[in-house]
Amino acid sequence: MGAKIDDAVQKLLGMWESGEMPEMIKHTTIARQKGERPCDSWSLANQILMLLSRTEDARGFRQWQEVGRRVKKGAQAIYISGPLKYTREVIDEETGEKVKRTFIRGFKDIPVFRIEDTEGAPIEDSQPNYAPKEMPPLMDVAEAWGIPVKYAAGDGRSYGAYQSTSDRSFEQIVLRTHDAVTFFHELSHAAHNRIRPLKDGQDPFQEIVAETCAAVLCLLYGYEGYVAQARHYVAHYAKAKPEEATRAVMAALSDIEKVLDMILSTSAAKPQGRTA
């Protein structure tokens, strides 16, 4: 496995150094469907609170009424956190004109109820299935690690996310695109988190590791059209020019190889692409 990983990494770096790469494929996002659950747009903290309450759908009293369901008598609410917003006029620093801006002055507890504590009309149609007809390679790795992979509609913020508590008692991958490279990226975060606990947020080192691993996996599984954008992604987090992205990779090479080895040694799906 080590020789195959080394060959793939060297091929990737050679493409980045020479600039001779396949034409870039643009990311696509999943279009929103009618009836999507409100909790799909909640923060990670609120989603974890919901899942710890042993449900995958929770909504406010009126939100349940809007889909033809009612909260059972005596049902206990669970509480999520929501921002307290206010709007005021400020001076735009660039134009010098007055504009209205929204600010957050704190947070409030919002009561929501589990679907298990409601009754009424079926809501299967309100939970659309966004999964692709054909799953990307390496889905068996997420399954082996007990990580649910969920597809959701695009939210305009990200193409995907690996979500985990510090003790990994809760983990999931959320994908807002069918592009395999995004799944590879988030799966790489999950593997990296098994090597050493990840820092919160988009840590540059962690992003460089995940995106480089995703690009190597794209080569191995025949998705070479994502190699060019990976170079730009790595360069962005390395605060370097695209042609200097390989320097950032060399500094993270040990973790990159460990992540790739963990993923490929776990998977039963053999790579289909070529590394030479």
H or E element in which residue 51 lies: helix 44-52
How high is the pLDDT of residue 35?
58
Q: What is the structure's pLDDT at 126?
A: 53
Q: What is the model's pLDDT at position 91?
A: 87
pLDDT for position 206: 97
Q: Report in angstroms the alpha-carbon separations of 243 from 10, 198, 206, 210, 212.
A: 15, 27, 20, 19, 14
Q: Which of 188, 197, 161, 205 is nearest to 264 (CA)?
A: 188
130 close to 152: Cβ distance less than 8 angstroms: yes
How confident is the model at residue 155, as a pLDDT?
75
Let me know: does 190 contact 164? Beta carbons within 8 Å: yes
Query: For each of the chain's 276 residues, which pLDDT tens digit applies?
Result: 678 899 999 999 999 999 888 888 888 888 777 557 888 888 878 988 998 898 989 999 999 998 899 999 999 999 999 989 889 888 887 788 888 888 888 999 999 999 999 999 887 655 678 899 999 999 999 999 999 999 988 877 789 999 998 899 999 999 999 999 999 999 999 999 999 999 988 899 999 999 999 999 999 999 999 999 999 999 999 998 988 899 889 999 999 999 999 999 999 766 765 443
- Determine the residue type at 157: R
Count of helix runs (H) and strand runs (E) in the chain = 9, 8
120/232 Cα distance (integer angstroms): 50
pTM for the model stands at 0.75
Helix (H) or strand (E) holding 82: strand 78-91
Q: Residue 227: which residues within 8 A CB-CB, separation 6 or more?
A: 12, 15, 16, 21, 22, 215, 218, 219
The whole-number pLDDT of residue 194 equals: 97
Question: For the CA atoms of 216, 221, 226, 228, what is the dihedral angle to 10 degrees?
Answer: 50
Question: What pLDDT does 96 receive?
Answer: 82
Query: In this structure, what are the phi and psi dihedrals at residue 176, rounded to the nearest 5 degrees?
Result: -110, 20
